[in-house]
Structure 1
């Protein structure tokens, strides 16, 4: 990974002991874009292009994703918030920033805002994960060992190399209204043929509810003082399930949960359509506009 040429504007920083791919562009107030489980920095390309004339845009790959090295172990919510802080410190960016978190990374953005209020200007949750009654799952060591074992077996069978890029394209087709992956195929092959990405996804998935439970504890202990906004996708898989064009039952349940989260956090909720869960691919202008309103 280190010997491969980095994209223009990218650099590698050692964050929390892991070599981390970071991209900084633009000028002005700082905003950080963080994607959900399985996402890479280039999923924010169009959002970053729209924001760069007005903001200093920071993107990064969590361990195992994109061009970042694999993590030494499973992530915690506090650890992910600390990763963002160290990343900003490494770039020499100490002013309050806007945190943009998609899906699972919505947990990280909110946690950062609660743990580091002086470093937070605002929070934007982009079709963020919602787990209002989460509890940490038992046997974390066994779960992590199982995830690592599955990742190792898949690597020996060359499954990431064979199935990683087509698997990525299938997920994007299902989770967007556009139904296609705009990412360059060469980048998708470079990032998703590696067993690192599968390993990272399995680890994040097995620790997902643990991080959600951590966030519920933080909500009880620390206030959220920064302004908050939420963007919700108008449908679960890119297209409404009902024939009349309105969201189907599954999408309505997701939107109800987003509305309850917005009320709990005191933030404004905006439904964006047509858009699937990968809202930043379907509606990058809506994401950029929401950032610029802060």
Structure 2
């Protein structure tokens, strides 16, 4: 999938270069704009006949550039360069949204009219866009160490200096500006080709990342307790529970693929796959394990118990997710296969950095001490688990029909959700009701979970 992302990103950058070069046709459709002394952006001025065409071209060019950058898989020491190129795309989009009022240099009467704020906004974002793309060219050329990239970078810098000199002299601005934009477009095409043929890119796209071991934390000694978190959960959410149990139990915590500190997997999550993961982390038979699960993790724990009845000593299910029968998403599997690769892109990294910590604090009420929710792969993994939930529910109903639950104690801890009451009745479990505070139980009342683990009563 990473190779396909490189192809899509390269295609988007080429589209951005082509759309950004729509001014070439403007030499023939808008003769009133002086080719020698007029800015290219004057073709999109409000008083020009083809203003909408060139404004739309600029806006789409900017969007294509941002889209291309967002799809590029992350690489060490390239972040600032791609960020600058994304800024160039956004500023190009803004330039299309705020055009000039009139042809500043080609129309002598333009300077005598009162100008709108949009006119001055265009001049500002145009200058900033030029600075952003030059910064991107310099930073990425230094990282790639390509003489071809440096050639177009130096030519772009030279053309920019010519634009500044010509603007001061009020002559030859059009020629210099067209040369500058040509260098920028050629460099965008080169950047696209670099994504397709670079040896470094090929190596990154071919590195397997699905067979690495998950992040596992063990502490204490005694009867084994295996903890599996809810949707998007991480191992550190269970610190308080583990601290209470470690004195008398061997506590095993882990992060599912893509979550916490675990590497991502190229395959979408499945119920049987998660049950197998629990089986791989649990002690070998004949030793039995107490499974503590939350949210969607309760599905995994129940499936593990039904598939491996001799290996389970007890189930403690906390605020289980609803498992009402629903039709699976038809496209969930295809989308899920794209998510691990998308989680490693600059776009996912930017979104996770901006929204991840705030979303985590809103949902849990605690900060992210390890910064795991600032990483794009975690957001992609959460989305993948959300997409897979209907398929998991369908598999769980089939398991319930085919495999009986072993005769082990089951405790369901609820903060008032009806799902917990229904599940407790279905599994003949002991129901423990706790006051709801909006925070996860393992953070708000870890002692209740520790008590449920240590309680020897049958459900």
TM class, shorter-length:
0.7 to 0.9
Gaps of 5+ in 1: 1-14, 173-179, 235-253
Quote the offset at 1:164 in angstroms: 1.3
Quote the offset at 1:139 in angstroms: 3.1
Normalized per residue, the structure richer in helix is 2
Deviation sequence 1:175-204 (CA, Å, 0-9, x none): xxxxx31x5x431x2x11111101100100
Q: Does 1:62 align with 2:256?
A: yes
Give aligned pairs, total: 247
- Classify 1:277/1:149 alpha carbon distance in 2 versus 1 (closer, same or farther; 3 Å): same
Partner of residue 223, structure 2: 29
Distance (Å, rounded) in 2 between the aligned partners of 1:198 and 1:140: 16
Partner of residue 212, structure 1: 393
- Classify 1:289/1:37 alpha carbon distance in 2 versus 1 (closer, same or farther; 3 Å): same
Q: Which has the higher contact order (CA 8 A, sep 6+)?
A: 1
Quote the offset at 1:36 in angstroms: 0.6
1:110 to 290, 302, 305: 302
- Classify 1:208/1:87 alpha carbon distance in 2 versus 1 (closer, same or farther; 3 Å): same
2:359 to 155, 167, 183: 167
Quote the offset at 1:274 in angstroms: 3.9
Distance (Å, rounded) in 2 between the aligned partners of 1:43 and 1:23: 12
- How do residues 1-294 of structure 1 correspond to structure 2 at under 5 angstroms? 17-88=211-282, 95-144=287-336, 147=339, 151=343, 155=347, 158-172=350-364, 180-181=365-366, 183=367, 185-187=368-370, 189=371, 191-225=372-406, 226-234=408-416, 254-255=417-418, 257-276=419-438, 278-294=440-456
Larger radius of gyration between Structure 1 and Structure 2: 2
Deviating beyond 4 angstroms after TM superposition, the runs of 4 or more aligned structure 1 residues are 145-154
Q: State TM-score, norm by structure 1.
A: 0.78
Gaps of 5+ in 2: 1-208
Normalized per residue, the structure richer in strand is 1
Distance (Å, rounded) in 1 between the aligned partners of 2:340 and 2:324: 28
Deviation sequence 1:32-60 (CA, Å, 0-9, x none): 11111111000000000111111111000
CA contact (8 A) 2:230 2:294 kept: yes
- Classify 1:18/1:217 alpha carbon distance in 2 versus 1 (closer, same or farther; 3 Å): farther
- Classify 1:108/1:156 alpha carbon distance in 2 versus 1 (closer, same or farther; 3 Å): closer
After superposing the two structures, state which structure 1 stretch, 142-151 or 129-138, moved more. Answer: 142-151
What value does the CA root-mean-square deviation take over the aligned residues?
Answer: 2.3
